[in-house]
Structure 1
Amino acid sequence: MDRLPSRLNLSARVLEINDIGWPFCSARVESLSHVLFSCDVAVDIWRNARIWIDIQLPILESWIDWETWFQRWNASPKMKGRMYVITAALSWTLWRFRSAFIFDPGKMKKQELFDLIRLYSFNWCTIRGKDLLVGLIGSLSLCKLVVLLPSLVSR
């Protein structure tokens, strides 16, 4: 699952990387888990998502944590579908923020991230299925992710 070109992964592939720290917060190694779950930006976004979807989502540290929680979560297939889409949108947006921060500073602002997540969730539900969309609009309580993101975005 951790195949994206984070600085940690690139250095593990014997590419010469001067610094494997995540430049946004300079506090930790740039790994997928840090960028998507434990960086201050990610923590804030996940907190906003918990409020938005109004479910008891635990604090997550990695994809393994998310997958474990998702498999044990006792929810309807529609609710799981919505959570799947929201998590995909959240992950996609955080990774895009990471890339923009490195390659095109100033392109994305931290304050805009959550609005983008909600927009992507809405758009992906519109594309993927009307049943998901109805629940997303109707209640606001509300969807293996990185692998599916290119196919979701390209539609």
Structure 2
Amino acid sequence: MDRLPTRGTLERRNIPVSDSACALCEVGRETVDHIMTGCGIAAVVWEHISRWCKVPPIFGFSVRDLLELHKTTKLGVVEKEAFHGIITIACWRLWKAKNEKVFDGKEVIVKEIIGDIKAYGFLWFKYRSKHKTLAWSIWCKFAFM
């Protein structure tokens, strides 16, 4: 809905920003779609998630594409639910990484982002679904049993 305060959005609303470049990759113009789909950091995250979840490479042009991706995968009902959760968590984690860099000066470490996606995904899936006995070792090996 274009409500997140990216540099591009702020600039478009006539709020002065010193630089409109993406805080994560410092290359493209910072928009929500760039942070989630066009940024080099996001591309590495999506590549890892696609390998981990055993789905075709993840490409999207917008956040909407990402959030609807689970509908077109050849996964079972439970796996689609988990995959949708993983994508949602990944979007949140990319946004969080951007904010940590902007407001705290924290370096962007892709391994940390991916680790958080796996950890939060595990907790979400285990405690918000019927799979209470899911083991961390199985989740890390591959998301879809």
TM-score where L is the length of structure 2? 0.82
Partner of 1:32: 32
Q: Map of 1:1-155 to 2, 5 A cutoff?
A: 1-106=1-106, 109-131=109-131, 134=134, 137=138, 140-142=142-144
The change in CA–CA distance for 1:85 and 1:67 in structure 2 (over 3 A counts) is closer
Number of residue equivalences: 142
Which one scores higher on RCO, CA 8 angstroms, separation ≥ 6? Answer: 1
Shift of 1:19: 1.9
Which region of structure 1 is more displaced relative to structure 2, 67-76 or 81-90? 67-76
d(CA) in 1 for partners of 2:72 and 2:109?
34
Shift of 1:62: 1.4
d(CA) in 2 for partners of 1:58 and 1:111?
18
Identity %, equivalent residues: 23
- Unaligned 5+ segments in structure 2 are none
Instruction: Return the structure number with greater helix share.
Output: 1
Which whole-Å deviations, capped at 9, do the CAs of 1:24-54 have from their partners, x for residues lacking one?
Answer: 3221100111111121111001001011111
The answer to whether the 8 A contact 1:55-1:141 is kept is no
The answer to whether the 8 A contact 1:125-1:133 is kept is no
Shift of 1:135: 9.4
- Unaligned 5+ segments in structure 1 are 143-155
d(CA) in 2 for partners of 1:62 and 1:110?
21
The answer to whether the 8 A contact 1:122-1:133 is kept is no
The answer to whether the 8 A contact 2:47-2:58 is kept is no
Q: Which amino acid aligns with 2:92?
A: W
The answer to whether the 8 A contact 1:7-1:31 is kept is yes
d(CA) in 1 for partners of 2:2 and 2:132?
28
